[in-house]
Structure 1
Amino acid sequence: MNDPHDLELRLLVDAIYQRYHYDFRHYAMVSLRRRMAAATARFGAKTLSELQGRILREPALFAQLLDYLTVQVSEMFRDPAYFLALRREVLPRLQTFPSFKIWVAGCSNGEEAYSLAILLQEAGLLPRAMIYATDINATSLERARAGVFPLARMADFSAAYQRAGGQAPFSDYYTANYGNALMDKALRKAIVFADHSLATDSVFAEVQFVSCRNVLIYFDRALQDRALGLFRDALPVGGFLGIGSRESVRFSAHAAAFREVAGPERIYQRVRD
């Protein structure tokens, strides 16, 4: 017998899809349960059904709910070994192109995109690059576009940057003012932040590198396969894909399209499949 709470949850995400065209129907149920329990408490609803009724009638409330439904936790140079592997395995290949594009899928507040921009800057590649950073949360995209982060976070970002092979004082990449840090203008100009859904949208450009880390773990198998199919189609043969440390392409429907180039860091290269 189906759990009544799970039925309520499925009705809620289906209602969100019908009303707002955001598709969470193939997000992992364990994650959805946890996030919606927090949202129900936050918005003072007694049940998911009550929360559903309010969301359908209050678009402003749905905008707030997106912060619970989407991944908001990120850091600059998260998992420094990943960025060391990019320096070793990916940047030498990108250096062979007169220009190239990078897609950061599920960019949240922009930490990953700015980290990659700094990496390219230090390799002398930023003037050749266009970084597309996408997410479905409009509020997150606005924060990312502004390039402003709490100054209190800079110490942790700086430590991770140094472990990732940083070549300069991290403070060279931002300006501190009134408790905030504004990322350098050259970094902000290199990134285009845009709305894109891995659940419903198609490929929008050919890119040489896709970085989508710690996003697939929130999807069920069908949506993971859909997202990996988009990355496969976006990458030419020889292009690179980076995913999270707890994610893999090995058992996906698109495993044959990728070969592992840095196993522990989850970096793959597109091959003919």
Structure 2
Amino acid sequence: MPTQTRKQRHATSFLDNMPWQPLLIFTIAQNIIWWSFPIHYGRLTGAAFHGNQLLLLAYTIVMSLTTFLMFQANFKSLWAHVPILISLILAFSGIIRGNLEILIMLLMFSGFWLVVEMRWLNLQNIWGLIIYALLSTFPISSAIFFFQNRFLSMTFLIQLIPLVACQLFFMMPIFETEGKRRVIATAVTGVLLIAAILFFHFSLLGVLAMAVVIITFWFSINYPNLKAQYTAVVYIVLELLAYLILVFA
């Protein structure tokens, strides 16, 4: 009984200390980022809604919860295992029928958060960010597009490159915390993102998106020590702003 009591106290403390408002904002923003371009692109191709997309939406919601919990706890959260488990159940429940590759990629994204906790792998850095950017972009976006169109096109996948660049740039302050390396890495990924914008979205809206990138770089340099509960939500909102501009550019 004392053990159970301690567990109850731990759970109560976790729930009391959870920054619910940042969690909600992060979850909504992350899901808009994931769903906006595939839906927008699907409208151009005459895509239709399918019921299984509701399962996929549930998957993206629990994965955004996982992401926030990991970011907020510096990549070590026991409670994040709950949404990870739910995401695995959803993936195996038949989210993807007829495309084993996408299913495997979704499982890899879920598994990434289990692997990143292993400190000896040293993934809480730029290398981990690169893996995160790839796994948080292609599997989910491909799954959404596949559900709508029942096929995948190379043209669509290439158009996801700006989202990968956004993930690299805007999430850099979370994965790389050492001052000098963080500044250099943020500058490099910022240049890559601007290059992607110029190549894929050279327009007035593209210029506006570049302005968001520059403002974000200035902010990350001048305010490098945000509280953990605010860091993820600030940068995901900035990413949302920039990416929505690019989606409709």
TM-score (norm 1): 0.27
Tell which has more relative contact order, 1 or 2 (C-alpha 8 A, sep 6+): 2
